[in-house]
Amino acid sequence: MRSSLDSLLVLEKKYHNILNKVAQQHGLTIAEWQLLIKISDGAQTQEQLAHITKLNISTLSRQLTRLETKKFVIKSPTAGKRGRGYFVYTETEKGKETMQEMETAIKTLEQRLFMRWSDEETKLLQVLLNRLVQSMKRFD
């Protein structure tokens, strides 16, 4: 029998593979999807996005360019300021629709995954996972 942490690692890998498939079906990578969510949540300049994501500017710039090329976001200059930090990125209708479709796909996955679990079991799992997260924070 594998340890709890080994089971979590297996689970994480399987979940990552599923997320990757869902993202690919919508023309995105997981990283692009996460960036699109941050833009939708209000972080709209490259400076803000770099701060939130902790990505270096060149990596962030490449991801933003790919999102723009794929028509998930549009880039607009801000009035009176120059430089890459002064462009505003906003999601397009295609970006909004894609995020909604992906959210629905993830919710469907969760429903299918836990359809044979009682409410008590899912609540207990959530409590235990939250406790594990808190315990892991001690190692940061």
Which residue is it, tokens 């939130």? 52
Cα separation of 52 and 49, whole Å? 5
Q: Taking residues 46-74, what's their average pLDDT? A: 94
Residue 52 has pLDDT above 70, yes or no: yes
Domains of the chain: 4-137 (1.10.10.10)
Specify the pTM.
Answer: 0.83
Average pLDDT, the chain: 92
> pLDDT tens digits for 103-131?
999 999 999 999 999 999 999 999 999 99
In percent, how much of the chain has pLDDT > 70?
95
Closest CA to 88 of 55, 46, 59: 46
Pair of tokens at residue 49: 């996005």
Name the DSSP class of 83: S
> pLDDT tens digits for 66-115?
999 999 999 988 766 665 557 899 999 999 999 999 999 999 999 999 99
Residue 5 has pLDDT above 60, yes or no: yes
Cα separation of 14 and 17, whole Å? 5
